[in-house]
């Protein structure tokens, strides 16, 4: 299950890489790097929400995995 999630996240990251990248900018301070990382995390989260829906929704892979382990394959 974790390998599948990792593959999906990698696929999403590749899709983000294929989109129009923002213009390069100079990272002069540690705060600049932190800000950039926060922006990248938010972009990845937005991409995940587009694919899987909001956390807790039937499309959420964590929820779907819990249902399969409980023996319920269909959405609740």
In a domain, 13, yes or no: yes
In a domain, 37, yes or no: yes
In a domain, 56, yes or no: yes
Q: Could you tell me the residue range of the domain that residue 51 belongs to?
A: 2-17+31-69
Three-point CA angle 30, 34, 38, nearest 5°: 170
pLDDT band at 24 (very low <50, low <70, confident <90, very high): confident
pTM: 0.48
In a domain, 10, yes or no: yes
For residue range 1-23, list pLDDT tens digits in order: 788 888 877 777 777 666 677 78
The label of the residue with tokens 């989260």 reads: 45
Give the total number of structural domains in the chain.
1
In a domain, 26, yes or no: no
Q: Are 13 and 48 a contacting pair, CB within 8 Å?
A: no
Q: Are 13 and 44 a contacting pair, CB within 8 Å?
A: yes
Contacts of 60 (CB under 8 A, 6+ apart): 52, 53, 54
In a domain, 61, yes or no: yes
In a domain, 42, yes or no: yes
């Amino acid at each position: 299950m974790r390998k599948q999630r990792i593959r999906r996240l990698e696929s999403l990251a590749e899709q983000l890489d294929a989109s129009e990248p923002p213009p390069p900018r100079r990272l002069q301070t540690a705060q600049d790097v932190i800000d950039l990382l926060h922006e990248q995390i938010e972009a990845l989260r937005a991409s995940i929400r587009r694919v899987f829906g909001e956390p807790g929704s039937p499309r959420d892979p964590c929820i779907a995995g819990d249902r399969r382990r409980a023996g319920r394959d269909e959405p609740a």
